[in-house]
Structures are given as C-alpha cells and as structure tokens.
C-alpha cells in the first residue's frame, strides 16, 4: 500500500480524536511559531498538518498567510469543514512533501509535527531537506517535531526513525542553525505517553 492510500484510509476510518497523535491544540508548536513568526503577515506552512487544529489557532491569532499541506485529501477536507468560511483564508495543498515542488523562498516558518520521522528512506529525507532549503527564506525558521529517542518505534502501523536533537540536526546539515530543542511528553487519547522531540532551526 502506498503512503497516500494508507493515510486516506486512516483519516476515512478514524475520528479526528481517535488517532494517537491527536491533541486538542498543538501548544508547543503554537508557542514557537508565535515567538518567531515576524508579524501576522508571516508566511507559515504546516507540513503534513493532517486534521490538526494548529491552523485554527493560527487564524485565531490573526496570522494571514497560512498554508496547510498533507498527502491526504480526507484530512484536508475535515480541516476545511471544521473551519467553515475561515478555511477560505488558508492555502490548502494535497501533496507528498517529498515529491511536490513548493515555491522558492516562499515561507518564513516551516512547521512539521510528526511526518519527518516516517521518512525511513534516505532519498525521501534528502528530498524533504532540499524542499525546506529551497522554500524557506534565508533566516527563516524551521520547526520540526519527531518521536524522540524513547518514543515509539511505529506509528499508525508504519515504521519510524526516532531522533535526538543531534541526529535530527545532522539530517538537515550545517546550513540549518539549531537554536533550541526540547522534548515533549505527549499523552495520547488512549492514555499512553509518547516522547516527542521539537527542534527549532534557522536557515542561514
């Protein structure tokens, strides 16, 4: 089964709050974006945003230039329906982040919670990093969250790669300056705890 078919099936079969990565709000992500987005006109992309409410919270805070990309049309449809008329203020993209070509220097802030760790093939990680390096402006901010070293080895039935700050930064390379990293203990809707790592880099 290819990635798109897998994720379409997950989002078609499960309610938004019945997946392990669900949180009512992505507090850590939001706080980093608010800290580093240079004004409300900042161009922000939520990569693999799925059905997350980060976009709702960004709009509620007045951000005017938000893009949400996901490989699953079903997930994007759920988010659009949830937002109602406000969804017209968002750019929506259904695409595979390792294959689609985003515009050059298009974004001030890149946010990804929980897709990079699914890229188990080196060629996919390389394509992802090239995508970030091309589409984020110089001095732009890159916030990537993956499972940490003590996190699960699988998610949604798929293998993942777990990272600490050093190994995640190594994937991105010297043009990305690591500004900070932190672990987050995420409580799943089923009451279990998963260790996530957040890394915040600036593109030099």
Ligand X SMILES: C[S@@+](CC[C@H](N)C(=O)[O-])C[C@H]1O[C@@H](n2cnc3c(N)ncnc32)[C@H](O)[C@@H]1O
**Least distance to ligand X, CB of residue 78, Å:** 10
- Nearest approach, Cβ of residue 184 and ligand X (Å): 11
Residue 95 vs 179, nearer CB to ligand X: 95
Q: Kindly indicate which of the ranges 57-65, 93-101, 159-167, 170-178 contains the residues binding ligand X, using the contact rule CB under 6 A.
A: 93-101
Judged by beta carbon, residue 65 or residue 72, the one nearer ligand X is 72
- The closest of 157, 141, 47 to 91, measured between CA atoms, is 47
Cα separation, 109 vs 132, in Å, equals 10
117: contact with ligand X by CB under 6 A: no
Which of 44, 55, 102, 114 touches ligand X by CB under 6 A? 114
**Counting beta carbons within 10 angstroms of the beta carbon of residue 6, is it exposed (0 to 12), middle (13 to 18) or buried (19 or more)?**
middle
Query: Interaction with ligand X in 162-201: which residues (CB under 6 A)?
Result: none
CB closer to ligand X out of 95 and 178 = 95
DSSP code of 97? T
DSSP assignment of 49-60? -TT-THHHHHHH
| Selection from 168, 164, 187 nearest residue 176 by Cα | 168
Contact 204, 176 (CB under 8 A): yes
Comparing CB distances to ligand X, the nearer of 96 and 184 is: 96
Residues lying near ligand X in the complex (CB under 6 A) are found at 3, 7, 21, 48-50, 52, 70-72, 75, 96-98, 113-115, 118, 155
């Amino acid at each position: 089964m290819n990635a798109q078919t897998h994720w379409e099936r997950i989002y078609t079969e499960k309610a938004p709050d019945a997946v392990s990565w669900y949180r009512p709000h992505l507090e850590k992500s939001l706080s980093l974006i608010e800290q580093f987005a240079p004004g409300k006109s900042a161009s922000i992309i939520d990569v693999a945003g799925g059905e997350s409410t980060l976009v709702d919270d960004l709009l509620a805070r007045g951000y005017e230039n938000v893009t949400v990309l996901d490989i699953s049309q079903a997930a994007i449809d759920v988010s659009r329906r949830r937002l109602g008329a406000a969804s017209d203020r968002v750019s929506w993209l259904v695409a595979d982040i390792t294959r689609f070509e985003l515009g050059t220097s298009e974004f001030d802030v890149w946010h990804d919670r929980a897709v990079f760790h699914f890229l188990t093939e080196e060629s996919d990680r390389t394509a992802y990093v090239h995508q970030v390096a091309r589409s984020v402006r110089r001095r732009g901010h890159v916030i990537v969250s993956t499972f940490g070293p003590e996190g699960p080895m699988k998610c949604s039935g798929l293998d993942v790669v777990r990272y600490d700050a050093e190994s995640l930064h190594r994937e991105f390379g010297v043009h990305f300056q690591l500004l900070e990293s932190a672990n987050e203990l995420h409580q799943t809707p089923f009451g279990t705890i998963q260790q996530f790592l957040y890394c915040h880099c600036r593109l030099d």
